[in-house]
């Protein structure tokens, strides 16, 4: 839509790996405030919708989150959407580990 874009990650960590990005520049996830909760919820909704459009329907087997600074490759907010989470490879399980020092959900 006019506020968010979604595209495939160039280095996928799962069979479905998308990035949901605000069109308007925002810093990394560390800059998020309470007022950004609706934006993050919309980003998650877009991620789920893109999964469903790509014939992935088990929304219980999805991992979504942000890399925490300084573990960000770019300084623009982007939500990782990975599915099926049960098929993450060894390195992806480390990079996208739930609520680690470097990846937050």
pLDDT tens profile 10-57: 999 999 999 999 999 998 899 999 999 999 999 999 999 999 999 999
Residue 73: predicted pLDDT: 81
Residue 79: predicted pLDDT: 97
Sheet holding 103-104, edge to edge: 4-8, 16-22, 79-83, 63-67, 103-104
Residue 87: predicted pLDDT: 96
CATH number of the structural domain 4-104: 3.30.428.10
- For the chain, the structural domain boundaries read 4-104
pTM for this predicted structure: 0.94
Q: Which two tokens stand for residue 72?
A: 């960000």
Catalytically annotated residue among 16, 67, 78, 80 = 78
| Complete DSSP assignment for 5-74 | EEEE-SS-SSSEEEEEEESS----GGG--GGGHHHHHHHHHHHHHHHHHTT---TTS-EEEEEPTTS-SS
Active site residue 67: no
Mean pLDDT score across all residues of the chain: 94
Residue 86 has pLDDT above 90, yes or no: yes
């Amino acid at each position: 839509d006019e506020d968010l874009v979604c595209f495939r990650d160039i280095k996928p960590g799962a069979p479905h790996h998308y990035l949901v990005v605000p069109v308007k520049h925002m810093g990394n996830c560390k800059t998020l405030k309470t007022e950004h909760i609706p934006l993050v919820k919309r980003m998650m909704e877009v991620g789920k919708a893109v999964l469903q459009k790509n014939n992935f329907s088990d929304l219980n087997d999805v991992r979504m989150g942000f890399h925490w600074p300084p573990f960000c490759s770019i300084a623009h907010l982007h939500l990782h959407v990975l599915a099926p989470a049960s098929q993450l490879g060894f390195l992806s399980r480390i990079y996208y580990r739930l609520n680690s020092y470097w990846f937050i959900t």
